[in-house]
Amino acid sequence: MSTARASDRLFALLQRCLPTRLLSLCMYRLTRVRWKPFKNLFIRVFMRGFGIRLDEAIETEPDAFVDFNAFFTRALQPSARPLAPAPALLSPVDGTLSQFGPLQAGRLMQAKGHDYDAASLLADAADAARFTGGDFATIYLAPYNYHRIHMPLSGRLSGWRYIPGRLFSVNASTARAMPRLFARNERLVAFFDSDQGAFAMVLVGALFVGGIETVWTGAVTPPHHRGPPGDLQRPTTPLALQRGDEMGRFNMGSTVILLTTPGLVQWSHTLQGAQTLRMGESLGQAR
């Protein structure tokens, strides 16, 4: 049974009526305004509202960022996120672990009372079949989190697919109330091969997420497209990324879903839902 409250259902209903693409495009433009009085005030109000400090960042002066997006996607000092020793499977982001566990019959848990199938999430049944019997972890990035996305394992990029979709919020309230939320929203799926097995990183867009980027394509969105899923793209030259390397970023916050093939990971016995994670922490052992 779903745990959605009346307020959750009302919020989900409201989002269905909102021009979410237009709102997200407006946010994209606002976050790139370079007029100093505006962007400095925007940054300082945001920092105050979410209790953000810059002591871990490379740039520690709020007014030094060229625009709000540069502040939001700020780089951290190398020592700020130490990596758990190999063979740990690393958390790819700072965030909250909303769900994790096995892909039972190829389905992922979204929230109590809601699950969805990997084929819908990846927009391809054959790709999803590779992960049947494997595992998944869903990590939500709140506005106050660090918003660069890193590699959980060393891997070689085998392909990626952009999937147009809606731009609903991905917070816990919407996840409780809206079925198949992550399979509805715009997303980018990146597939990697590693020495331990294959894994996929799903970067889910959301309301006010002004853009998704990867290190090999640059900006993927905007524009926010409509229509069927894109074809699987393959790298023209080999691309290998080491565990802990940056692989992408969100311009505003969202969710990352990690999928692994059967037997790749043994989850840590201390891991639990709603746990706060930092990039580089161990999720379990890669085998």
pLDDT tens for each residue of 221-235: 888 888 999 999 999
Closest CA to 115 of 125, 103, 127: 103
In whole angstroms, what is the distance from residue 196 CA to residue 263 CA? 9
Residue 1 has pLDDT above 60, yes or no: no
Closest CA to 142 of 5, 280, 277: 277
What is the pLDDT, as a whole number, of residue 171? 87
Per the domain annotation, does 56 fall within a domain?
A: no
Per the domain annotation, does 86 fall within a domain?
A: yes
Buried b (16+ CB within 10 A) or exposed e, 204-243: bbbbbbbbbbbbbeeebbbebeeeeebebeeeeeeeebeb
Residue 194 has pLDDT above 90, yes or no: yes
Q: Are 169 and 108 in contact (CB under 8 A)?
A: no
pTM score, two decimals? 0.95
State the burial class of residue 54 (Cβ atoms within 10 Å of its Cβ: 0-12, 13-18, 19+): middle
Per the domain annotation, does 59 fall within a domain?
A: no
State the burial class of residue 1 (Cβ atoms within 10 Å of its Cβ: 0-12, 13-18, 19+): exposed
Q: Are 153 and 90 in contact (CB under 8 A)?
A: yes
Mean pLDDT of 126-143: 95
Q: Which residue in 98, 120, 254, 282 is the catalytic one?
A: 254
Residue 26 has pLDDT above 60, yes or no: yes
Per the domain annotation, does 260 fall within a domain?
A: yes
- In terms of pLDDT, which residue wins out, 172 or 55? 55
Per the domain annotation, does 120 fall within a domain?
A: yes
Say how many CA atoms lie within 13 Å of 270 toward its Cβ: 6
Q: Are 175 and 8 in contact (CB under 8 A)?
A: no
The total number of structural domains in the chain stands at 1
What is the pLDDT, as a whole number, of residue 80? 96
Q: Are 64 and 54 in contact (CB under 8 A)?
A: no
Q: Are strands 114-117 and 107-111 parallel, antiparallel or unpaired?
A: antiparallel
11 pLDDT band (50/70/90 cuts)? Answer: confident
Question: What does the mean pLDDT of the chain come to?
Answer: 93
Q: How many residues does the chain have?
A: 287
E-state strands within the chain: 88-90, 95-102, 107-111, 114-117, 135-140, 148-150, 155-163, 187-194, 197-204, 211-214, 218-221, 240-241, 246-251, 255-260, 265-267, 275-277, 282-286
Residue 102 belongs to domain spanning:
78-286
In whole angstroms, what is the distance from residue 203 CA to residue 258 CA? 9
pLDDT tens for each residue of 30-85: 999 999 999 999 999 999 999 999 999 999 999 999 999 999 999 999 899 999 99
Handedness of CA 270, 276, 278, 283 (dihedral sign): positive
Q: Which residue in 150, 173, 224, 282 is the catalytic one?
A: 150
Per the domain annotation, does 73 fall within a domain?
A: no
- In terms of pLDDT, which residue wins out, 1 or 160? 160
> Would you call 194 a catalytic residue per the annotation?
no
89 pLDDT band (50/70/90 cuts)? Answer: very high
> Would you call 94 a catalytic residue per the annotation?
yes
209 pLDDT band (50/70/90 cuts)? Answer: confident
Per the domain annotation, does 83 fall within a domain?
A: yes
Per the domain annotation, does 146 fall within a domain?
A: yes
Q: Which residue in 67, 94, 127, 135 is the catalytic one?
A: 94
